[in-house]
Amino acid sequence: MASKLIETQDELDKSKEVIKVESVYFSYDGPLILEDINLSIQRADFLAMIGPNGSGKTTLLKIMVGLLKPQAGQVFLFGQGIEEFEDWYKVAYIQQNATHLESKFPITVEEVITSSLYASRQMKDRPTGWRKERVEHVLRLVGLAGYQKRLMTTLSGGQQQRVLIARALAAEPEVMLLDEPTTGVDHQTQENFYDLLGKLNHDYGLTIAVVTHDYGLVNKHINQVACLNRKLIYHGRHEEFCQSAAFKELLADGHHLVMHQH
Amino acid sequence: MLSGVLTSGFFWRAILAGSFLAVACGLLGVFLILRQDSMISHGLSHLAFAGIALGLVLNFLPLIVSLIICVIGSIFILKLKKQASLPGDAALAILASGGMALAIFLVSLRMNFGVELMGYLFGDILAISSVEVWLSIILALMVTILILANYHQLLYMTFDRETALVAGVKVSSLDKILVILTAITVVLGLRIVGLLLVSALTVVPAAAALQLARSFRQTLVLSSLFSLLAIMAGIVLSYALDLPASASIVFLSIGIFLATVGGKNLATSLKK
Ligand SMILES: Nc1ncnc2c1ncn2[C@@H]1O[C@H](COP(=O)(O)OP(=O)(O)O)[C@@H](O)[C@H]1O
Ligand SMILES: [Mg+2]
């Protein structure tokens, strides 16, 4: 089955470090929002980014995908400085409130995904047959086989979210960054969603960084935690996080952290 | 009567220029509405009008002068929109009234072209010259080709701008292309339906298509067809019954729009 997200062993070996954030400082013409952030995401990591509202999680994600430029510090993608980086099809980004769609936009599920497959030169050169197959494949992957002709606006929030994941997967990315992907959907849908991410990470080695308030739902899938509050309070292995001072501080803040037993 | 129509050069020139423009308007209108940029064509139409007045004062091809001014204006609008020191609509309102004021000022310099300028206020497709027909066809064709050539990227960024940007879509170049194409279309539309109705030409057929379409591709096709239908029928009506073409065209597109809204409501109430 041609379902590998990463094509060759060569590519696997080239660099193990997918994203590196080095001494990043950022402000939006005002107070510092991010201070001295150092973060490294390795291939096949599943990182959860947590922190209170307004702590700079969205800002950091936007810096990592080049939508914002830090005032100081550097970002590297696949070992390359972000300014020089060109292989954007390797990076999938799902923004916060991505499913707050314009309610009248007449676009089918197939069109959502296909249009993304022309985004870059590498993608445009693929044959049309490849695109059709790709759409079918990624829809199957997210459990929406046969939904090609449905209008986006007729889907539930959870289904729309899965279409956006399918779109993100279609370009065969190597890393996926998601910003609070499950706000506004019910608990069961959230759980299914994180199980899907877990599967993509586990079965295909997809590197994932997700900003989330549902720590309790992701913690069975992740291996890394980053805890942000202007500074990076904690960054490291998930198992050690629960013993750390940062974790207790978060609990003291009344952060919603339901732990799953496993 | 009918044989007179069919052998009339005016009539065929109008049909030819009109149908090419119709398709360009139909395609562009869908993007303008979904990008919430419909007001841009309104603002640009006033600037285009000032350009026509300037052309008449300088006694140099008004359509070309207008085209140049409008394209420069469109880039300026884009800059204003990016800076966001003003909400987009306010900047456009300033531009529209500034354009109009400039036109009035230019008219006051040399009153003798007031009548000619009126043609651009209310549109006068049957007075279109063969040079203008060719210009319209070439420009309208350019608008259509550029939109179709960038179809997927335009759709991606209209639907989800930020993700498209990260994915490598050249969002700011395409922004420029769209706004310049709008400027071109508005100038051409000015000749055909006039300042007062030109923004209707880009917006109404697209709005009608949005009522019915079951996909984005369908929206583009329907919008172009509606626009084509309104312009062709409007020209025929105006020629046959001696009505103003611009008003007939806009009435017909509004008629189509109301029919689609009615048809949609009927369909939903029948389903219940
Ligand atoms: N576009 C912006 N302009 C100015 N300030 C902003 C902007 N976006 C976010 N902020 C501020 O930056 C801080 C961090 O925001 P954000 O990164 O969205 O936090 P989080 O995602 O953790 O909730 C907040 O104080 C917010 O008010
Ligand atoms: Mg956020």
State pLDDT tens for residues B157-205.
999 999 999 999 999 999 999 999 999 999 988 888 888 788 888 899 9
> Which range is least confidently modeled, A99-113, A141-155, B43-57?
A99-113
A51 lines ligand 1 (CB under 6 A): yes
Confidence of residue A158 (pLDDT cuts 50, 70, 90): confident
d(CA A105, CA A99): 12
Question: Which helix (DSSP H) or strand (DSSP E) does residue A176 occupy?
Answer: strand A175-179
Interchain proximity B166–A93, CB inside 8 Å? yes
Q: What is the mean pLDDT of chain A?
A: 85
Neighbours of A84 (CB within 10 A): 8
- pLDDT top residue among A171 and B175: B175
The number of helix segments (H) and strand segments (E) in chain A equals 10, 10
Neighbours of A206 (CB within 10 A): 24
Q: What is the pLDDT of residue A133?
A: 93
A201 lines ligand 1 (CB under 6 A): no
- Please tell me the distance between residue A67's alpha carbon and the centre of ligand 1 in angstroms: 14
> Which range is least confidently modeled, A173-177, A250-254, B34-38?
A250-254
Average pLDDT over residues A212-221: 86
Q: What is the pLDDT of residue B5?
A: 56
Provide φ and ψ at B17, rounded to 5°. Answer: -60, -40
> Which residues does chain A have within 8 Å of residue B167's beta carbon, measured at their own beta carbons?
88-89, 93, 116, 119-120, 171
Residue found by looking up tokens 């991606």 in the block: B156
A258, pLDDT greater than 80: no
The answer to whether the beta carbons of residues A50 and A255 sit under 8 Å apart is yes
Provide φ and ψ at B241, rounded to 5°. Answer: -105, 0
Nearest CA in chain A to B152: A115
Q: What is the pLDDT of residue A85?
A: 93
d(CA A175, CA A209): 8
d(CA B134, CA A78): 52
Q: What is the pLDDT of residue A260?
A: 41
Q: What is the pLDDT of residue A2?
A: 43
CA atoms A83, A89, A94, A100: torsion sign: positive
Contacts of B145 (CB under 8 A, 6+ apart): none
Going along chain A from its start, the domains and CATH numbers come out as 3-102+173-252 (3.40.50.300)
Tens digits of residue pLDDT in A5-54: 555 555 554 458 999 999 999 999 889 999 999 999 999 999 999 998 99
A252, pLDDT greater than 90: no
* Candidate from A26, A27, A33, A37 with most ligand 1 atoms within 8 A of CB, to mutate: A33
133-152 in B: which are within 8 Å (CB) of A? 152
Task: Tell which residue, B204, B199, B221, has the closest CA to residue B147.
Answer: B221
Q: Which of A95, A111, A149 is the closest to B155 by Cβ?
A: A111
Q: Which of A65, A67, A115 is the closest to B155 by Cβ?
A: A115
Q: What is the pLDDT of residue A259?
A: 43
Q: Which residues pair with A229 in a beta bridge?
A: A231
ipTM of predicted assembly, 2 dp: 0.89
Average pLDDT over residues B98-121: 83
Residue found by looking up tokens 């980053």 in the block: A226
Task: Tell which residue, B263, B195, B260, B204, has the closest CA to residue B231.
Answer: B204
> Which range is least confidently modeled, A115-124, A226-235, B29-38, B252-261?
A115-124
A59 lines ligand 1 (CB under 6 A): yes
Task: Tell which residue, B34, B257, B28, B143, has the closest CA to residue A107.
Answer: B34
d(CA B130, CA B139): 14
What distance in Å separates residue A51's CA from the closest CA in chain B?
23
Q: What is the mean pLDDT of chain B?
A: 88
- pLDDT top residue among A253 and A98: A98
Q: Which two tokens stand for residue A104?
A: 């009248």
Could you give the count of Cα atoms lying within 13 Å of A82 in the half-sphere of its Cβ? Answer: 21
Q: Which two tokens stand for residue B207?
A: 């709005």
Confidence of residue B109 (pLDDT cuts 50, 70, 90): confident
Neighbours of A49 (CB within 10 A): 26
CATH superfamily of B2-266: ABC transporter involved in vitamin B12 uptake, BtuC (1.10.3470.10)
d(CA A238, CA A260): 13
A253, pLDDT greater than 60: no
Q: What is the pLDDT of residue A26?
A: 97
Task: Tell which residue, B39, B41, B76, B46, has the closest CA to residue B185.
Answer: B41
B29, pLDDT greater than 90: yes
Query: Three-state secondary structure along chain B?
Result: CHHHHHHCHHHHHHHHHHHHHHHHHHHHHHHHHHCCCHHHHHHHHHHHHHHHHHHHHHCCCHHHHHHHHHHHHHHHHHHHHHHCCCCHHHHHHHHHHHHHHHHHHHHHHCHHHHHHHHHHHHCCHHHCCHHHHHHHHHHHHHHHHHHHHCHHHHHHHHHCHHHHHHHCCCHHHHHHHHHHHHHHHHHHHHHHHCCCCHHHHHHHHHHHHHHHCCCHHHHHHHHHHHHHHHHHHHHHHHHHHCCCHHHHHHHHHHHHHHHHHHHHHHHHHHHC
- pLDDT top residue among B215 and B121: B215
Confidence of residue B104 (pLDDT cuts 50, 70, 90): confident
Percent of the residues in chain A that have a pLDDT greater than 90, as a whole number: 54
- How are beta strands A72-77 and A17-27 bridged, if at all? antiparallel
Nearest CA in chain B to A120: B168
Neighbours of A156 (CB within 10 A): 12
The answer to whether the beta carbons of residues A214 and A192 sit under 8 Å apart is no
Confidence of residue A261 (pLDDT cuts 50, 70, 90): very low
Amino acid of residue B236? V
B272, pLDDT greater than 80: no
d(CA A27, CA A106): 37
Q: What is the pLDDT of residue A126?
A: 83
Encode A214-245: b = buried (16+ Cβ within 10 Å), e = exposed. bbebbbebbebbbbbbbebbbbeebeebeeee
Confidence of residue B128 (pLDDT cuts 50, 70, 90): confident
Confidence of residue A255 (pLDDT cuts 50, 70, 90): low
Average pLDDT over residues A215-219: 84
DSSP 3-state of A92: strand
- How are beta strands A32-42 and A17-27 bridged, if at all? antiparallel
Domain range list for chain B = 2-266
> Which range is least confidently modeled, A174-178, B133-137, B175-179, B226-230?
B133-137
A182 lines ligand 1 (CB under 6 A): no
B69, pLDDT greater than 90: yes
Q: What is the pLDDT of residue B6?
A: 57
